[in-house]
Amino acid sequence: MVYKVIGLMSGSSLDGLDIAYVQLEEIRGNWSYKILNAECLPYPDKWIADLRHASDLRMSEFLKLNTRYGKYLGEQINDFIDKYNLGHKVHFIASHGHTVFHEPENNTTCQIGDGAAIAVTTGLPVINDLRSMDVALGGQGAPIVPIGDRLLFGGYDYLLNIGGIANITVQHPGNNIGAENADLAGQTRGSAPTPAMIAFDVCPANQVLNALAQREGLPYDDGGGLAAKGSLLADVLDDLNDDKYYKLTPPKSLSNDAAVEIVFPKLYESSHNNYDQLHTICRHVAEQVAAAVKLFPHGKEEASMLVTGGGAFNTFLIMQLEQTLEPLKVKVLVPEPEVIKFKEALVMALIGTLRWREEVNVLSSVTGASRDSVGGALWLG
């Protein structure tokens, strides 16, 4: 079966809206993909401010922002469809929305971007609100990308996404996988893929690096050039690594606010220069990724880690990762730029497709929910 879907992703770093028009094909339980057209559309300053402060709004203003943002997403999709001549070629839209509130311990999460508004604006079916079912089932609601890691990128031992928050998928944690569970062939409607994988939010990443770069008048630290000029702040690094979040065992996830609390007070209240802070944060990310690997060792002569997300373009950060992971016999692999940029939008399209098929799209082994679930609300345009 072939599906042509538009996937939308807006990450915590607020660097833009990712739109990907993808082809997904399923043959006897095996999935393949093609990214046909894709763009990252930078947010106007007004939208950056509105999304960043959405959780501070009064309820009436928050609800209006949710609707207005849904209409904005629909308008961006319409422009994208016109630009690439995709009229009558899109089966449906899968939208992650933008996370503005996340308290899974209270069974609550919110990604704004009203699905009804998107559906009415585009005239297409829309699947959104992808995390709420898992959170209602007692899960973290995050990460949800691992279903895509398993179905589309199953050949890697670890998959690291470095976005505003870095998260990792461990394909084969410990010795819990038997040969009989090694693939998903024969999966039936509504059945659960093998749960033998673990994923969790590792640490704050690009949201911190970008904020520090913006102090230098730059949107981000291109290639990690500024971080490379800095020096390691050993005492700051020790303080960061000692945060209580890192002592928790998975499943666990970080809200944007919680990620900010780990890092920003320790940096913004210090007198250290930005270059040194950028350098230290890159090392912090690398050490926390290494800690995640140590928690779930691969037990092989050499393992592979696929790195995607905006942080994969940060050459200095990748070098730090390679240095910390080499003793652990993990090889860092950076794919082609299209996959780096749009893997999450691609996976949102897959999650929406699984919802369309009424098949499991969120894994309880990853989130800690009471069971696997079919997440997402469907709006007919």
Fold agreement between 2-140+342-379 and 146-338: yes
β pairing state of 17-27 and 30-41: antiparallel
CA distance 238 to 234: 6
Owner of token pair 């090889």: 331
- Domain borders along the chain are 2-140+342-379, 146-338
Q: Is the distance from CB of 331 to CB of 303 less than 8 angstroms?
A: yes
CATH number of 146-338: 3.30.420.40
β pairing state of 108-112 and 126-128: unpaired
Q: Which CATH number fits domain 2-140+342-379: 3.30.420.40, 3.40.50.800, 3.30.70.270, 3.40.640.10?
A: 3.30.420.40
Q: Is the distance from CB of 352 to CB of 153 less than 8 angstroms?
A: no
Per-residue pLDDT of the chain (381 residues; tens, 9 = 90+): 999 999 999 987 788 999 999 999 999 999 999 999 999 999 999 999 999 999 999 999 999 999 999 999 999 999 999 999 999 999 999 999 999 999 999 999 999 999 999 999 999 999 999 999 999 999 999 889 999 999 999 999 999 999 999 999 999 776 433 333 333 333 333 344 444 689 999 999 999 999 999 999 999 999 999 999 999 999 999 999 999 999 999 989 888 888 888 988 878 777 899 999 999 999 999 999 999 999 999 999 999 999 999 999 999 999 999 999 999 999 999 999 999 999 999 999 999 999 999 999 999 989 999 999 999 999 998
Its pTM stands at 0.86
SS3 368: coil
SS3 253: coil
Owner of token pair 């679930």: 373
Token duo for residue 24: 């997904």
* Side chain identity at residue 171, one-letter code: Q
CA distance 354 to 32: 13
Full DSSP string of 268-311: HTS---HHHHHHHHHHHHHHHHHHHHHHS---SSSEEEEEESGG
Q: Which residues contact 260 (CB under 8 A, 6 or more apart)?
A: 204, 207
